[in-house]
C-alpha cells in the first residue's frame, strides 16, 4: 500500500475526530474530516460494525478523492444481550435530532436496574475501515472489556466514557487523560492493527 499523505476521517462525531486525529498526529499525515469538508453524514444501513465502518470510509473516499478512515464503534452490555451494539449512538438521540449522552447512559443504567442484575460487565468495540482512493479497503477491529458504573464519573472523553471502567483500572474513561485512554482504548487497538499490517 502506498504511503498516505492526506486522510479524511469519515465522521461528524467531534469526539471521534479529535481522538483519531490524536492517533494520527505522529505520522505527518494531513488530516481533515467529513464534518470539516461539509459532507453529509453517511447513513448507517449496515447490520454490523464492519459494514457501517466500510460504508462511511468508502463513501467519504469517493467524495473526497482521498484515503478515508471510517470508524464504527459501540458499547456491548453483557446482561442486555450485547445491546446497544451498533445502535449505541441511537440511544442518545433526541426528538430534535441532537444526541444527549447523559440520557443514553441513564438509559443503559435504567435497563440494568430494571432487570435486577448485578452483572454490569460490558465492552467497547471499534472497527476501523481504511478506504483508499483506488478502491482498496482494509478493515481491523479492537475491543476493551470492563464494568459499567453509576453514578457517572469524570467529564473527559465522550459518549459512554464516564460510566465505563476498563479491566485493571480504577478510573472510568471519563476520568482518564486523553493520552492514558488512547494507550488502552478499543480505538487504539484497532488503529495499531491498521498501522502494523497496512503501513499507514
Active site residues: 72
Residue 28 φ then ψ, to 5°: 55, 40
**Phi/psi-derived region of residue 18, left when phi > 0, alpha when psi is between -120 and 50, beta in every other case:** alpha
| CA dihedral sign of residues 155, 96, 56, 63 | negative
Q: What's the N-to-C CA distance of the chain in angstroms? A: 8
Per-residue buried b or exposed e for 72-90, using 16+ beta carbons within 10 Å of the residue's own CB: bbbbbbbbbeebbbbebbe
Amino acid at each position: 500500500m502506498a504511503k498516505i499523505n492526506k486522510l479524511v476521517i469519515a465522521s461528524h462525531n467531534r469526539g471521534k475526530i479529535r481522538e483519531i486525529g490524536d492517533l494520527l498526529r505522529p505520522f505527518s499525515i494531513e488530516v481533515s474530516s467529513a464534518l470539516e469538508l461539509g459532507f453529509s453524514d453517511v447513513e448507517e444501513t449496515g447490520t454490523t460494525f464492519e459494514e457501517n465502518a466500510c460504508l462511511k470510509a468508502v463513501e467519504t473516499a469517493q467524495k473526497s478523492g482521498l484515503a478515508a478512515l471510517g470508524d464504527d464503534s459501540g458499547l456491548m452490555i453483557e446482561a442486555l444481550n450485547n445491546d446497544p451494539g451498533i445502535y449505541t449512538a441511537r440511544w442518545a438521540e433526541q426528538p430534535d435530532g441532537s444526541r444527549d449522552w447523559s440520557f443514553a447512559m441513564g438509559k443503559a443504567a435504567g435497563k440494568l436496574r430494571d432487570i435486577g442484575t448485578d452483572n454490569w460487565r460490558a465492552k467497547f468495540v471499534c472497527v476501523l475501515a481504511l478506504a483508499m482512493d483506488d478502491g482498496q479497503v482494509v478493515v481491523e477491529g479492537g475491543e476493551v472489556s470492563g464494568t459499567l458504573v453509576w453514578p457517572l464519573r469524570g467529564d473527559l472523553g465522550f459518549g459512554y466514557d464516564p460510566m465505563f471502567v476498563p479491566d485493571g483500572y480504577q478510573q472510568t474513561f471519563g476520568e482518564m487523560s486523553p493520552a492514558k485512554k488512547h494507550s488502552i482504548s478499543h480505538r487504539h487497538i484497532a488503529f495499531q492493527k491498521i498501522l502494523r499490517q497496512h503501513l499507514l
